[in-house]
Amino acid sequence: MNEFRDRTEEQHDGRFPGHGDGTRCAHAGLPEPVPGAPFLPGPVFAAPYHLDPRHGPASAPNGYGRPDNPTRRLLEAAIGELEGGECRVFASGQAAVTGLLLAVLRPGDSVVLPADGYFSVRAFATETLAGNGVRVLLAPTAGPYPSFDGVRLVLVETPANPGLDVVDLPALAERARSAGALLAVDNTTATPLGQRPLDLGADLVVASGTKALTGHSDLLLGYLATRSAELLGRLTAWRTATGAVPGAFDAWLAHRSLATLDLRLGRQSANAEALARLLAARADVSGLRWPGLADDPAYPVASRQLRRMPGVLSFDLGSAERVARFLEASRLVAAATSFGGLHTSADRRAQWGDDTAPGFVRLSCGVEDSVDLVADVAAALDAA
């Protein structure tokens, strides 16, 4: 039995069990109402706090800003309610995932990572983990997977970024549990409203909050969530020691943004469906992927596992030059990396060194009117 696998069977539905996504998002992590106080308290900007002269930090929850910040704790409570576990936020998604890998893995351990996931994680594994004596195995999200015998940690990204493949999490969790391995799930693309990996058998959730979770393209954030007290303690100690914490204002902005998550995802998913149907009908677009299409390879698993489809899709325009012409012709699609924001954007992943074709595009749908967005993309493709 893995020493960290102490998850309970209790439900983790926060203060609003049975309520809808919009209600949970609007109220997640908010303190009890106090007359004259705001709904969401403003950010606490503090490095040191006043200490009790006799008892020091034992007498109050705040002592020093790196481990202690009430604004950050409120955000962690909110994300924890949505993910169904205890949460720790980090300065970025990369800080969260590298913190997970370095806190859990030791020399001689083996880890399975996604071969088609975020390329920076693979680069970190080959440049740092392997140098620390960790055996790194890569597997595509849709499989096949290697044997998990002797594996310490399995990390999957589902739906994968940028290819949007999906893996059956309950089945993978059972395989990992049988082998004594931990299962961590990158939930960035789906968000906790799209799926709750802890409910599906995962030990850990890791995600970039920079993207759809906060959705305003104005902050960097990452987080980890778990139901294991021992894992949470190890991750918290790692974050304290390394100082990989978000600032108070970023934490406040993130919490502010959560209230509209349900609304934003609803429009983004609808826009993704509308664009997917447009692109599927065009002979000048190839390699279309969106797990909500019935003929997409990921659809059989995604349709039963995801509570809502992501607002991200991918396709190929054949060349870097055609991608450039498409983006120049569009009035509504911005050329930008990252995804999940209010404004529709497209990213040619090969320009970052990702191992994708030159014309491969990851398109992130914003909250524009669907009719306007479809017309704009169609006109831009015609012009390109």
- Taking CA atoms, 194 is separated from 120, 172, 197, in Å, by 24, 18, 10
d(CA 374, CA 123) in angstroms, rounded, equals 36
d(CA 176, CA 183) in angstroms, rounded, equals 6
Count of CB atoms situated within 10 Å of the CB of 80: 23
d(CA 61, CA 44) in angstroms, rounded, equals 13
Neighbouring residues of 336: CB distance < 8 A, sequence distance ≥ 6: 217, 345, 346, 347
Question: Which is catalytic among the residues 118, 203, 223, 264?
Answer: 118
d(CA 232, CA 87) in angstroms, rounded, equals 8
Question: Which is catalytic among the residues 7, 66, 282, 325?
Answer: 66
Contact present, 101 and 111 (Cβ < 8 Å): yes
Cis omega (within 30 of 0) on the bond before 300?
A: no
Question: Which is catalytic among the residues 68, 109, 168, 186?
Answer: 186
DSSP of 36-99, one letter per residue?
TS-SSPPP---SB---BTTTBGGGSS-SBTTT--HHHHHHHHHHHHHHTSEEEEESSHHHHHHH
d(CA 142, CA 156) in angstroms, rounded, equals 10
Annotated catalytic residue 211:
yes
Question: Which is catalytic among the residues 24, 175, 196, 211?
Answer: 211
Contact present, 120 and 164 (Cβ < 8 Å): no
Annotated catalytic residue 118:
yes
| Active site positions, annotated | 66, 118, 186, 211
